[in-house]
Amino acid sequence: MKKTFRIISFLEGVSYLLLLFIAVPIKYLQGDVTYVKMLGMPHGLLFMLYIVLAIVIQKQMKWNFKTLIIVLACSVIPFGTFYVDKKYLQ
């Protein structure tokens, strides 16, 4: 389960960065919503999977409540999921 969470965490982080730093600027600077539409749904699904898997593996990883909150909060911070991987999943 940890390996699956690491994969989802990585993919969620990459999709968030692509959405935030490529798709959204293109949308607002060029008026083209294609990339937001293309990346939005996969990112949303990965985000939900990340949240669910973090809660599921909390006991396996022996995270206390504070650590779980940090792991969950990192899902909305750019580069946060990479920090989680380095600090809590290695």
The pTM assigned to this predicted structure is: 0.87
pLDDT in tens, 14-43: 999 999 999 999 999 999 999 999 999 999
User: Sign (positive/negative) of CA torsion 25, 30, 31, 34?
Assistant: negative
Rounded CA-CA distance 31/62 in Å is 46
Residue 2 has pLDDT above 90, yes or no: no
Sort residue 65 into left (φ over 0), alpha (ψ -120 to 50) or beta.
alpha
User: Sign (positive/negative) of CA torsion 56, 60, 65, 66?
Assistant: negative
Q: What pLDDT score does 1 carry?
A: 85
